[in-house]
Structure 1
């Protein structure tokens, strides 16, 4: 077995691989960018090498730097993790050329399955069912539009070299095709350096079901059961589970046989995933599934497979890369209970899931039977704009699906994330959603239930604010006590005494940008706090910093602070015409020029953050008076992008 491994990745991915490598007695070698100098994966490694600046294109994606670090550390093998260079043929070849074992499939298999059009042609030849569509080389926009019409709407535009929902657009009407194609191609070029796309028929009640496959270099291939990854948003997985609800043993065998045939057709070795789209209308059934793509790597959601099989898939990867045979035959693969995984992200469901960056002031996860947490960060770390904003994966395993969902929902509600916003509350509501628990869901479930799941603007939680105000007042009382500890004065008594009536104090605060007053009433020497008539919540957590108090309740974060009445409370002169960046990102496009007339709702600019595009629109009718950003520039959250002058009530 290998004595050393370099992990060509970061975050929770690197930490998870490191855990198995250390258990197997390997020396672990990390690589890191300047932004990750103090990252958890660097601290856990036996050895670490700096490979460049923060942007991945200058560090984690530079093959020569990874190979140089591997040679300098005398690494016997490189594990690519998932993401970054894990499915890069050139990287796999570079490892071989330098006498380093690539813990993954051979370059030929990556190449065969890396381009969706070629992969589908290979699958058709192997007898694996594929979704109807156009997978050819011709990329003329008018031709592709005609093909979409021939296939019949709705259709999916998908990046040929893509994955993770990047470069993908659903189109329901012929008139919308041109804009969708332009956006898909631009995103595909930015994400993969390849703008080519294919067109597929969109299945109207789709279930996303994938089979975990493993193959060795001795000609053996098996599957390790399926995962259901249908709960998605913007084509990115949110919650995954195994086994798939409604899956029969006979259908599992049928789908598994197709997956194994796909792996063998690609000449595959190692861990891979065959992704199928299934028609969920009327339940899963024989003949109602089609090949979508193959991921030639380990998947983010592999822990649910590990939970129901009791296997360590990373250990299998190492053993197969070292030339060993598969340790189990197909009939020996276990399937025990049910497992569910949720991806905890630093994002704000109340602001269209915009990425949320900043320091993790507090981070704490629950522990317990049947619960696993995979993370690459700890309290005090920064969530930066340079990489995927995942904080952790929470995985729950139980004897039944209902029990696993309960366990996961409870764990999410007991998780503390303070600083950046998180989707913890959204995820817990998703786990408890009645239709999802009843098995009545497909890939459109989240979009159809956003309001029920608490996504979108929410009213202020006055009970949480009152709890925070109470903590704020208590902190001020403690500071006052510290300042006056050296002397004794009757004027410093904190008992609310006055000669007549009930003593009431008004404490000005600001909560989530809203100016409020906390009322403190002293009764029988006890201070009782309320905000807008609401008493402090009994089920909240408060964390105080130097300048604010953060309250966490039901996975939702509320920030409040004392309001300084000496500061001007006048609103900005530009009013609703000030267009700010909603998150840290890169300006991809400016769609208007200075002096142009714009209408409310008109697209003004496109900002890319965490590899996702976000469009800024005009909030009023008016004229572009100023453009403060430039194409290609990085821009901070809240920074001015442009100013529109005009009536604040325009368009109403």
Structure 2
């Protein structure tokens, strides 16, 4: 087992990893930018190294500085969390070359699954259903328009190397294709340094269902059930839950089998997510993409299975077998997660950094809060606006909803604007009770 792990991240996920390491008796090294010197992850780790300015490219995205910190502190391994370098195959490759274990999948899996075009081809060969679309990357808008005209509208243009809703445009009419393709292409080149695109048939009124998988280096792969991530604003998730309220048991079984088939086709180990689109009738599903990292919403899976995914990732990276078999995976009750963002929903959701003057989070049976906030903390303006995740677990969905209502009503974050009231509005709505994510999303989009 590792003696010391460097966490190449910040915020609540860095704190989450530090806590898992503490429980395993592993020392930790935090890295921080200059504006994060007083951040919670920097204070909780056994050691902390400041690696650059507030700009991500100078700190959390700076491979050379992160590796230098790992070598200087004699770290055995690096956990990248999510975002930043978590899906950067170049980073993983250099870690391996420096004899530092990258806590994640193999470089080959990251490359193949990170490239949406290669991932599609891999799934097709494995017999996993995919949405009709292009199998090769595109850079030419007019070539793309010809293909889109043949597929039939609406279509969705996506970045080959994209994620988080960046480099993505829905195109409903042929005459709009070239303009929207070029816009998405420019956006993805800025965000990911890659202007390759691909096209898929847009599945109308689809649900976003993802399956958590975990594999080891001995070829064992498990699926730990689904998460329904259909409530989104502009492709950014807001609420996640498990189990999905709309998923039929026979379809759930087929999707779980397809998730394992997909992971094995990718020769995947570590934690990852197979994302599917479920059609409006709830009968057919299609592979959308694979996330080769831990997800923001992983706590809901942990709440219903009792599996610590971060610990499993660490043990797999250390060369150990999974601690369970598929038959050992049991699901209990329902879990819901609400993302709390420092933003103003009444003013086009603009980010709202600032100082936390007063803070209170709920606790008690079945309530979990993942956050790096503390009283007096100054939230910087240069990073993602998510500041906390409220997660609840109930015996059934009705109890989980009631617990979330209670938990959200108890949260106090004074000094900044947040989306707390919006989340309470969502959870308290008839649409959420009915599982009508599409109507919730429509109202969110109408707010700007």
Mark the structure with the bigger radius of gyration: 1
State the structure with bigger RCO (CA 8 A, min sep 6), 1 or 2. Answer: 2
Question: What is residue 133 of structure 2 aligned with on the other side?
Answer: 133
Question: What is residue 336 of structure 1 aligned with on the other side?
Answer: 332
Tell me how far apart the structure 2 counterparts of residues 25 and 115 of structure 1 sit (CA, whole Å): 36
Q: Is the 8 A contact 1:275 1:291 kept in 2?
A: yes
Tell me how far apart the structure 2 counterparts of residues 101 and 417 of structure 1 sit (CA, whole Å): 38
**Could you tell me which of 353, 359, 367 is aligned with 2:355?**
359
Question: What is residue 510 of structure 1 aligned with on the other side?
Answer: none
Question: What is residue 234 of structure 2 aligned with on the other side?
Answer: 234
**Deviation of 1:179 (Å):** 2.9
Question: What is residue 367 of structure 2 aligned with on the other side?
Answer: 371
Q: Is the 8 A contact 2:277 2:285 kept in 1?
A: yes
Does residue 445 of structure 1 match 2:445? no
User: After alignment, is 173-182 or 40-49 more displaced?
Assistant: 173-182
Residues 133-532 of structure 1: pairs in structure 2 closer than 5 A:
133-279=133-279, 281-282=280-281, 284-285=282-283, 288-442=284-438, 445-448=440-443, 455=447
Q: Note the alpha carbon deviations across 1:153-195, whole angstroms, 9 max, x for none.
A: 2111111101111111112222322332222112211211112
Any gaps of 5 or more consecutive residues in structure 1? 457-652
**Deviation of 1:199 (Å):** 1.0
**Deviation of 1:46 (Å):** 0.6
Q: Is the 8 A contact 1:409 1:429 kept in 2?
A: no
**Deviation of 1:419 (Å):** 2.0
Tell me how far apart the structure 2 counterparts of residues 221 and 341 of structure 1 sit (CA, whole Å): 25
Q: Note the alpha carbon deviations across 1:479-537, whole angstroms, 9 max, x for none.
A: xxxxxxxxxxxxxxxxxxxxxxxxxxxxxxxxxxxxxxxxxxxxxxxxxxxxxxxxxxx
After superposition, the CA RMSD in angstroms is: 1.3
Q: Is the 8 A contact 1:363 1:416 kept in 2?
A: yes
Q: Is the 8 A contact 1:104 1:271 kept in 2?
A: yes
What SS does the aligned partner of 1:341 have?
strand
Are residues 197 and 445 of structure 1, via their aligned partners in 2, closer, same or farther at CA, if it must alter by over 3 Å? farther
Does residue 124 of structure 1 match 2:119? no
Are residues 198 and 445 of structure 1, via their aligned partners in 2, closer, same or farther at CA, if it must alter by over 3 Å? farther
**Deviation of 1:384 (Å):** 1.8
What SS does the aligned partner of 2:166 have?
coil
Q: Is the 8 A contact 2:3 2:27 kept in 1?
A: yes
Question: What is residue 64 of structure 1 aligned with on the other side?
Answer: 64
Tell me how far apart the structure 2 counterparts of residues 176 and 364 of structure 1 sit (CA, whole Å): 48
Tell me how far apart the structure 1 counterparts of residues 178 and 137 of structure 2 sit (CA, whole Å): 18
Q: Is the 8 A contact 1:157 1:168 kept in 2?
A: yes
Q: Note the alpha carbon deviations across 1:570-618, whole angstroms, 9 max, x for none.
A: xxxxxxxxxxxxxxxxxxxxxxxxxxxxxxxxxxxxxxxxxxxxxxxxx
What SS does the aligned partner of 1:394 have?
strand
Any gaps of 5 or more consecutive residues in structure 2? none
- Structure 1 length as normaliser, TM-score? 0.67
The size of the alignment, in residue pairs, is: 448
Q: Is the 8 A contact 1:153 1:171 kept in 2?
A: yes
What SS does the aligned partner of 2:437 have?
coil
Tell me how far apart the structure 2 counterparts of residues 390 and 183 of structure 1 sit (CA, whole Å): 26
Q: Note the alpha carbon deviations across 1:66-108, whole angstroms, 9 max, x for none.
A: 1110011111111111111111111111111111111110101
**Deviation of 1:449 (Å):** 5.5
Tell me how far apart the structure 2 counterparts of residues 449 and 85 of structure 1 sit (CA, whole Å): 30
Tell me how far apart the structure 2 counterparts of residues 357 and 441 of structure 1 sit (CA, whole Å): 29
Tell me how far apart the structure 2 counterparts of residues 188 and 449 of structure 1 sit (CA, whole Å): 24
**Deviation of 1:50 (Å):** 0.8
Tell me how far apart the structure 2 counterparts of residues 185 and 361 of structure 1 sit (CA, whole Å): 41
Are residues 175 and 236 of structure 1, via their aligned partners in 2, closer, same or farther at CA, if it must alter by over 3 Å? same
**Deviation of 1:450 (Å):** 5.8
Q: Is the 8 A contact 2:211 2:227 kept in 1?
A: yes
